[in-house]
A and B are shown apart, each in its own frame.
Chain A
């Protein structure tokens, strides 16, 4: 299976900050990379698919970029509702893989 290495494991930010999370795949995943948000007690929610395409309903302060094996996800102007754990997911192969997650907390 393709391995996904996500960093950092945790992040502390103030309201209005910009934060960035990265994911590195163990092989080229051809931009088949999604980002998910999971708030406590809630099911995961897909924010971005195919590296940078915002899923319907995703605020424009979320963005994604990357290619090959290296991908990143950013939140500009962090809001209180963004406090959650974020995961990357590769779906290039028939077996999907999540990254280890990044927990975003408020300073």
Chain B
């Protein structure tokens, strides 16, 4: 069945780099787009970026200087890397599958990231 699962460090020091992995099963990354969304205390839900099924990427312009999304099709994994983390980046990070018609039908359970020294 379709599943997405985020993983990564729960604690990151300020100014350091965050690396998260979204491991998917039950579908191919070449058939569906995968988005990253986060919920932070200050902004609620925030769309971060996407890797489209064809491999292109798009990013939230506010995060674009710090954010990179890549994938490994053979391992069914999507990666998020964000540098220069600050306390306001503390929140829950989700990956979600997007197919046709703007539908986001499956989400990971989310991974909590705390930025603190």
Contact = CB atoms under 8 A, between A and B. Distances in A.
Interface of A: 1, 32, 34, 36, 38, 43-46, 49-50, 55, 85, 87, 89, 91, 94-98, 100-101
Interface of B: 35, 37, 39, 43-47, 50, 58-62, 94, 96, 101-105, 107-110
B44 A96 contact: no
Contacts of B50: 94, 96
Nearest to A9: B44
B110 to A, nearest CB: 6
18 contacts: A38-B45, A43-B94, A43-B110, A44-B94, A44-B96, A44-B104, A46-B103, A49-B101, A55-B105, A85-B44, A87-B45, A91-B102, A95-B61, A96-B35, A96-B50, A97-B47, A98-B44, A101-B44
Given A43-B110, A55-B105, A98-B37, 16 more contacts: A32-B102, A44-B45, A44-B104, A46-B103, A49-B101, A50-B102, A85-B44, A87-B44, A89-B45, A95-B47, A95-B58, A97-B47, A98-B44, A98-B46, A98-B47, A101-B45
B59 A95 contact: yes
Contacts of B59: 95
B44 A100 contact: yes
A4 B14 CA distance: 29
